[in-house]
Amino acid sequence: MVTEILETARLKSEHGQLNREKTDLVKLIQGSCLAFKGHAPGIRFESVRETCQAFVDAEQIQTVLKNLLANALKYSNAENAPVGISINGTDSGTHIEIQDHGQVIPEEAGLALDLIFEPFYRNDKSRNKKTGGYGLGLSLCKTIIEAHCSTISVKSKFGEGATFCLNLPNFPQPI
């Protein structure tokens, strides 16, 4: 928890900088998926391209990917279809989607999806031991993605689980 709080504060600080470099996002995603090898229900990665270059801080984007994949696996049952991750690159940017087929994010009066990226917010009010956490992971993801002048969003539908969408620029963006 302390690490996530400090990293969020660092990125929001005027002195917090990203170490941007040309990165192959396909390889980065493949490496992130390997960290969860053997975790049920598994991960299925789809890419229409063998390589997809973007100007990002690879370590920070890998933190986002691992957090989203860990959440997708955590909220899926072993019997569910594998978590899907796909990447689609264009000349102007890259779109990454991570979709689980587990629990739907409940929309309590439409607030849940708006609040999910807020620090300490958790849908599971019981704080059960299975899901654990402090509600900081998605907040950190949003901070990292916004530091890249990019966007992160989520959609959730009953029977389909949740899908997190990342839109990253391919070229350096002004800070």
Residue 46 within a domain:
yes
pLDDT bin (cut points 50, 70, 90) of residue 127 is: very low
Residue 28 within a domain:
yes
The count of structural domains within the chain is 1
Residue 74 within a domain:
yes
**Is 127:61 a contact under the CB 8 Å cutoff?**
no
Residue 115 within a domain:
yes
Residue 7 within a domain:
yes
Closest by CA to 145, choosing from 133, 135, 137, is: 137
Residue 107 structural domain? 2-169
Residue 175 within a domain:
no
> pLDDT tens, 26-39?
999 999 999 999 99
Q: In CATH, what number is assigned to the domain containing residue 11?
A: 3.30.565.10
Residue 174 within a domain:
no
pTM of the prediction?
0.83
Q: At what angle do helices 25-34 and 58-74 cross, to 10 degrees?
A: 40
Residue 70 within a domain:
yes
Burial label for 110, CB within 10 Å (0-12, 13-18, 19+), is exposed
